[in-house]
Amino acid sequence: MTPSILVLNGPNLNLLGTREPDIYGSGTLAELVDGLKAAYIGRAEIVEFQSNIEGELVGAIHEASGTHDGIVLNAGAYTHTSIALRDAIAGVSVPVVEIHISNVYQREAFRHGTMLAGVCLGQILGFGRVSYSLAVEALLRHIKE
Ligand code: DQA
């Protein structure tokens, strides 16, 4: 069966396209998701959800259990602060890849910490929007193993 991958985006990622385009690029989130869906036809079902609300992201992680085979998670700023998201990831058996568009380690010190990486399968960052497809590839390989 075709694996189902949840691409979960946190706060401010709905602003892709207009938000700091020098860092995040000029394409929209819808374009990014459409591109992923098209690239993985037949290999993965890509389902996307974005929320600016921490609790909704926690809920999406809970619901992914038994529904999706993996999660690509760009938790935005919650990456650096959210024990609730960390606990949600630790509490389900779905593999999660933490991703970032930018290389957070080249940016402000407050972006260098991650609450999430320690409970994720792995972390991919700094490859612009390609970070998303690299994470899908990593999950598909992991699922096959
Ligand atoms: C981000 C990096 C975070 O530090 C920031 O708060 C974001 C986007 C990225 O994709 O590069 O919202 O996760």
135 CA distance to ligand 1 middle (Å)? 15
For the CA of 103, the nearest atom of ligand 1 = 11
What is the residue with the minimal CA distance to atom 13 of ligand 1?
76
Exposed, middle or buried: residue 23 (CB in 10 Å: 0-12, 13-18, 19+)?
exposed
Alpha carbon distance 88, 112 (integer Å): 21
User: How many other β-carbons are positioned within 10 Å of the β-carbon of residue 142?
Assistant: 15
Rounded distance between C-alpha atoms, residue 117 and residue 98, angstroms:
6
Give the tokens for residue 106. Answer: 């080249």
CA of 51 relative to ligand 1 center, distance in Å? 14
Q: Helix count (H) and strand count (E) of the chain?
A: 5, 5
What's the pTM? Answer: 0.97
Please state which CATH number belongs to domain 4-144: 3.40.50.9100
Residues with active-site annotation = 24, 100
The residues lining ligand 1, judged by C-beta closer than 6 Å to any ligand atom, are: 12, 74, 76-77, 79, 100-102, 104, 111
pLDDT values of the chain reduced to their tens digit, one per residue, 145 residues? 899 999 999 999 999 999 999 999 999 999 999 999 999 999 999 999 999 999 999 999 999 999 999 999 999 999 999 999 999 999 999 999 999 999 999 999 999 999 999 999 999 999 999 999 999 999 999 999 8
